């Protein structure tokens, strides 16, 4: 395995969260955290190198995915996010820039950058499962669960892989608030094709 070295001149809250939360995770769809190196002037984080680059760059360069491609990557994303939640951690910054590919012929998706992550409670996990199971629109709209917001964000990312690069660029500029992302989807000039089978919250046809 090839590793990448990230150097930080000072330790802030984001670096602390990256170390504390990321280092405890071991999953094929999460960038591997190797070790921390402390020098007289810098702190270095050693992590798995993903030679395929960002999913954002892939979409901007080559355009929208086919439905089969989108399903292939989204399945891996959900596996990774579900594992993160099972470890009582919420990523909180899930976006195309923080999703990497390993460069293999059949690329493996890798979630990275846990600088905004946080520990979550069993109540948050339970609330996510209840809402996803019952799919009550009013609760989805008003839910403050970080876990649920992460699943919602994943669904928006699925939509962005099925549209052209304009939606990916738009998502790069806005916050992860549910309403602002939904507005971007509705106002985007290049929506996903109407014939898509991936529908109903993005989960029903993925597996």
In the chain, the number of structural domains is 2
Q: Which residues lie below 8 Å from residue 31, measured CB to CB, with a gap of 6+?
A: 22, 47, 48, 50, 100, 110, 111, 112
- For the chain, what is the mean pLDDT? 75
| Confidence grade of residue 137 (pLDDT, cut at 50, 70, 90) | very low
Domain that includes residue 149, residue range: 53-187
> Would 202 be classed as within a structural domain?
no
Percentage with pLDDT > 90 across the chain: 34
**Mean pLDDT to the nearest integer, 103-107:** 89
CB atoms within 10 A of CB 49: 16
**140 vs 160: which has the higher pLDDT:** 160
Helix/strand/coil (H/E/C) assignment for every residue in 58-122:
HHHHHCCCCHHHHHHHHHHHHHHHHHHHHCCEECCCCCHHHEEECCCCCCCEEECCCCCCEECCH
SS3 label, residue 148: helix
Percentage with pLDDT > 70 across the chain: 61
> Would 201 be classed as within a structural domain?
no
CB atoms within 10 A of CB 52: 16
CB 163 within 8 A of CB 190: yes
> Would 198 be classed as within a structural domain?
no
> Would 88 be classed as within a structural domain?
yes
Is the domain of 90 the same as that of 44? no
**27 vs 88: which has the higher pLDDT:** 27
Domain CATH for 105: 1.10.510.10
Is the domain of 42 the same as that of 68? no
Catalytic residues: 93
Phi, psi of 23 (to 5 degrees): -65, -20
Task: Write out pLDDT tens, residues 186-206.
Answer: 444 444 445 445 444 444 444
Q: What is the pLDDT of residue 99?
A: 93
Q: What is the pLDDT of residue 205?
A: 42
Domain CATH for 23: 3.30.200.20
**Mean pLDDT to the nearest integer, 30-46:** 94
């Amino acid at each position: 395995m090839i590793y990448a070295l990230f150097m930080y001149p000072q330790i802030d809250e984001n670096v602390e969260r990256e170390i504390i939360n990321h280092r405890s995770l071991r999953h094929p769809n999460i960038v591997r955290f190797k070790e921390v190196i402390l020098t007289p002037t810098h702190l270095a984080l050693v992590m798995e190198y993903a030679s395929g680059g960002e999913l954002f760059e892939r979409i901007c360069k080559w355009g929208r995915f086919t439905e089969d491609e989108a399903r292939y990557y989204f399945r891996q994303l959900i596996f990774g996010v579900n594992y993160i939640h099972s470890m009582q951690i919420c990523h909180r910054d899930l976006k195309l820039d923080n999703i990497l590919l390993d460069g293999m012929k059949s690329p493996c998706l890798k979630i990275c950058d846990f600088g905004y992550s946080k520990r979550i409670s069993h109540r948050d996990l339970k609330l996510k499962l209840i809402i996803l199971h019952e799919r009550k629109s009013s609760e989805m709209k008003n839910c403050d669960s970080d876990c649920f917001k992460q699943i919602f964000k994943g669904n928006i990312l699925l939509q962005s892989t099925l549209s052209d690069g304009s939606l990916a660029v738009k998502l790069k500029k806005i916050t992860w608030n549910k309403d602002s992302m939904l507005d971007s989807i509705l106002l985007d000039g290049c929506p996903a094709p109407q014939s898509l089978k991936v529908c109903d919250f993005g989960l029903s046809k993925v597996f």
